[in-house]
Every structure is written in C-alpha cells, then in structure tokens.
Amino acid sequence: MNEDDCRRFADDALDRLNELNQKLQAAFKLGSYERWDYDQETGIFVFSRSGVPKVVAKVQVVGSIASGAGTWLWSWANASILEAARDQMDRVRAFGTEHGFDRLREAKWRGEKRTAGR
C-alpha cells in the first residue's frame, strides 16, 4: 500500500468505527449507566445501574496515544496490557504485514489524533 492508499483505508476505517459506535450507543445506551467496570485480566467491561449489570462486553485494547510525544503504541507491543485484553490484535499486525501497511505492523509511530470529519 502506498501512503495515499493507507490514508484512504484509515479514513474509511474511522468512518466505519464511528458508524458502529453510534449504533452501539443507540442500541445499548452505554453513556446512560451510572457505573462501568473493566477487568483487564478477562477483557470484560460491565456497565451497571444500582449494582445490577446491564451490559457485559468483551473488549480489545487496541493501543494508546501519548499526546505529549505525539505517538501511538499498539497494545500488542505494550507489556502493561494483559493478553486477554489484546489477544485478537495480532490479526491486525498480520493484516498490515500481508498488505504492506506499515502502521499496522510497526509497534510505535508518530501520528496525529484523527476524528470523524477529519
């Protein structure tokens, strides 16, 4: 993939992610619960009200942003992220390797924060 292909791919992926997040919010009202808890050992999020679990979800930690340094670090390269919380992320790295998408296979890179509407 050349740089333009990578940018288009990332833009499309961000648009799709935002679309999916809107659907999740509409379907599960995640922002309406008084409490959420996350267990990194299991990779489980629990959204609850009055101590009663309402939504339970298995999640993957994708990576982290160091705002001051302007860098991204994939969870598969972060020793502080437990295996259960990142066990599917090797698939992302493999996709990057297969398709020549460097930012999917490089552990850490400089980048900018991107949002919908870029």
What's the pLDDT tens digit per position in 10-68?
Answer: 889 889 989 998 999 999 998 899 999 999 999 999 999 999 999 999 999 999 989 88
Q: Domain tally for the chain?
A: 1
Burial 82-99 (b: 16+ CB within 10 A, else e): beebbeebeebbeebeee
Asked, for residue 31, whether it belongs to a domain, the answer is: yes
For residue 116, pLDDT over 60 is answered with: no
Q: What percent of the chain has pLDDT over 70?
A: 93
Asked, for residue 115, whether it belongs to a domain, the answer is: no
Q: What pTM did the predictor assign?
A: 0.77
Range of the domain at 40: 3-110
Asked, for residue 13, whether it belongs to a domain, the answer is: yes
